Structure 1
Amino acid sequence: MDTADYDAFAARYDAENAGSLLNAHYERPAMLDLAGEVAGRTILDAGCGSGPLTVLLRERGAMVTGIDASPAMIALARERLGDDVPLHVGDLAEPLPFADGAFDDVIASLVLHYLEDWDAPLAELRRVLRPGGRLIVSVNHPTVRLLSHPHEDYFATRRYSDEFDFDGEPAVLTMWHRPLRAMTAAFTRSGFSIAAIEEPPPSPLTPPELMPPRIASGERSAFLCFLFFVLQRGEHRPWPSQTSSGIR
């Protein structure tokens, strides 16, 4: 994972993230709802960024550890969290500095879509989970790319870049599109069972002025943006090759 992007605009991203519709009023509330009661649970916030979700998990009584590939983001997280939360600079594409079975849950919030390969990171996230532990994931919804770029091949795993506005200034992020079937195959191949797939609505506490007009008017109840998974660590079983299973 290339950290240069986030290191370049970490403070601006953090400012945008603090109150935006998609982060503050959609993705984070959805992740907390999926996590449920976390008091007393050990949680790894994998790709913690500047720590906004880490803070919320800690406030709910979880014992949280954070890791992120961007030193600038970890510096912001230290300012936000103080010294009582362990924070590490580390790339999810590399071995993690944690013992086997160290965590009850792993939260991977909007991070996997920056990685071309999921097998090695998922194997590491599974390793650091206790047996039966949960991996709670949010990623870009793959159908959004299909709707916005209908000429592209939805079923191809491919790299793309988009421009965003962070706190009034443009920035470019590079990510990986993969179809839903590639996501679910990677999860099960890595020894996870899929407990839930969710496409939640925005939080009911969202300020009305932030809502898309068709939702604010009541015409629609939700929008496509991110896709959420609750996975459970199971016994690892060999997964048939993609060719033998008919997936190409």
Structure 2
Amino acid sequence: MGCVATDYDTFAEAYAAENETSLQNAYYTLPAVLDLAGNVAGRRVLDAGCGSGPLAAALRERGAAVSGFDASAKMVELARRRLGPDADLRVADLGEPLPYPDGAFDDVVAALVLHYLEDWTAPLGELRRVLTPGGRLIAAVNHPFLYKLIHPEGDYFATVRWSEEYTFDGRETVLTYWHRPLHAMTDAFTAAGFRTAVVSEPPFAPEARDLFPDELAGFPSGAFLGFLFFVLEAA
């Protein structure tokens, strides 16, 4: 699995089933990334860490030519079921050289994948390499304040490994992340040849209020500390 510590092969189907309708994925991350991507018709888009393919499917519906990869062979299998046998989907690890030529894509989306990696240098370098000059990397990561919220005794300014227990479709599992402070993220983006165009802390989708009334009762603004979203331009 390279530098991705969590082995999604062991619970891929449960994770995919849960996230089809979950607040964090279906009504927060997915619409936020699509909103930041804007009009993708005719653009070549790489879904880095595509999982079971919901984002790739949504981008394709909007007219993008989508390719995707994931370190989990089981996730790629699920994505192929969704997108069809001819979809350009591959098993690849973001911690290793990617199987795409230089400048192959206009956009890369990396939704909820970078926070599994301790070192961003090589992964960001690869994502920059496969982007055309002026192309965009749209990334979503754990909000850096989330670690401090859950672990108030922790050092916000350190790069720290931490784990959290979850239940996906009735199956219990543990996800392991790497926390890094905001300045470490933006420094890494700059060092890899990106310019930060947008930093976003978006609200959830409007329809989520009716679907998850209890969970969202304490968030009158519609925004909460979950993930942090970036649009980065390849210099």
Specify the TM-score bucket, using the shorter chain as the normaliser: over 0.9
Deviation, structure 1 residue 207: 5.2
Partner of 2:11: 9
1:214 aligns with one of 199, 207, 218: 218
- The aligned runs of 1:109-148 (5 Å cut-off) are 109-148=111-150
In structure 2, relative to structure 1, the CA distance for the partners of 1:4 and 1:122 (3 Å cut) is closer
The 5-angstrom pairing of residues 50-61 of structure 1 reads 50-61=52-63
Q: Residue 5 of structure 2 contacts residue 176 of structure 2 at CA under 8 Å; is this kept in 1? A: no
Q: For the Cα contact (< 8 Å) 2:4–2:117, is it kept in 1?
A: no
Q: Which residue of 2 aligns with 1:179?
A: 181
> In the alignment, which residue of structure 2 is the partner of 1:232?
233
SS at match of 1:195: strand
Shift in Å, 1:149: 0.9
- Give deviations 1:125-149, integer Å, cap 9, x for gaps: 0000000000000000010111121
CA contact (8 A) 1:15 1:167 kept: yes
Count of aligned positions: 231
- The range that moved more, 3-12 or 57-66, is 3-12
Say which of 160, 163, 167 aligns to 1:161: 163
SS of 1:214's partner is: coil
Decide whether aligned partners of structure 1 residues 152 and 73 sit closer, same or farther in structure 2, where only a CA change above 3 A counts.
Answer: same
RMSD in angstroms over aligned alpha carbons? 1.1
2: distance between equivalents of 1:161 and 1:146? 13
TM-score, normalized by length of structure 1?
0.91
Is the Cα–Cα contact under 8 Å of residues 5 and 172 in structure 1 kept in the other structure? no
For residues 34-113 of structure 1, what are the structure 2 equivalents within 5 Å? 34-113=36-115
Report the CA distance shift for 1:188/1:145 in structure 2 as closer, same or farther (over 3 A): same
Amino-acid identity (%): 61
CA contact (8 A) 1:10 1:73 kept: yes
Aligned-partner SS, 1:200? coil
- Tell me by how many angstroms 1:4 deviates: 5.8
- Provide runs of 4+ in structure 1 moved above 2 Å: 1-5
1:71-124 CA-partner distances (Å, limit 9, x unpaired)? 010010011110232000000000011010000000001000011110100001
Residue 64 of structure 1 aligns to which amino acid in structure 2? Answer: V
Equivalent position of 1:204 in the other structure: 206
TM-score, structure 2 normalization: 0.96
* Contact in 1 for aligned 2:143/2:227 (Cα 8 Å): yes
Structure 2: gaps of 5 or more residues:
none
Q: Give the secondary structure class of the aligned counterpart of 2:107.
A: strand
Assess, with a 3 A threshold, how the Cα gap between structure 1 residues 214 and 4 changes in structure 2: closer, same or farther.
closer
Three-state SS of the structure 2 residue aligned to 1:173 is strand
